[in-house]
């Protein structure tokens, strides 16, 4: 596609439910990042993929968070048993180069856990 696409753009869920967030990177981009941003804050690194493998999962906040990437393309971020503190904007970015330079961002998913 023309840019990084994320869906849904907004998600409201009840505490305890599982949610799945999707990221469709720019075609051909090998690197893919997930970040989380709380209101008025900076970006918190969650996980990074190079192809289908995730060499760095150090940012995942707890074992309720997981992510996968298939076919070197689409990635899904899954949050199990959501908590209110999970409410944030989840941003995905992709990059074309091996050195993961310029990142192209999607518009994010606003997650609200009630």
Partner 1 sequence: SQQGEEDPQALSIQEGENATMNCSYKTSINNLQWYRQNSGRGLVHLILIRSNEREKHSGRLRVTLDTSKKSSSLLITASRAADTASYFCATLSPGFKTIFGAGTRLFVKA
The minimum distance between CB 74 and partner 1, in angstroms, equals 18
- What 8-state DSSP symbol labels residue 86? G
Identify which of 11, 23, 17 has the alpha carbon closest to the alpha carbon of residue 76: 23
Pick 72 or 80: Cβ nearer partner 1: 72
The minimum distance between CB 33 and partner 1, in angstroms, equals 7
The minimum distance between CB 7 and partner 1, in angstroms, equals 14
Pick 31 or 111: Cβ nearer partner 1: 31
Residue ranges that bind partner 1, judged by CB under 8 A: 4, 31, 33, 35, 37, 39, 41-43, 45, 48, 50, 55-56, 89, 91, 93, 98-108
- Locate the DSSP E strands across 5-63: 5-7, 10-13, 19-24, 31-37, 43-50, 53-56
- CA-CA distance, 110 to 102, in Å (whole number)? 23
Pick 106 or 113: Cβ nearer partner 1: 106
């Amino acid at each position: 596609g023309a840019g990084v696409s994320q869906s849904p753009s907004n998600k409201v869920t009840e505490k305890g439910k599982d949610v799945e967030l999707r990221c469709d990177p720019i075609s051909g981009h090998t690197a893919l990042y997930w970040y989380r941003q709380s209101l008025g804050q900076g970006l918190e690194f969650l996980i990074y993929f190079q192809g289908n493998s995730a060499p760095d999962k150090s940012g995942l906040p707890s074992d309720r968070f997981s992510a996968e990437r298939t076919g070197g393309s689409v990635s899904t971020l899954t949050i199990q048993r959501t908590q209110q503190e999970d409410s944030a904007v989840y941003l995905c970015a992709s990059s074309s180069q091996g050195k993961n330079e310029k990142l192209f961002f999607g518009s994010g998913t606003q997650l609200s856990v009630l």
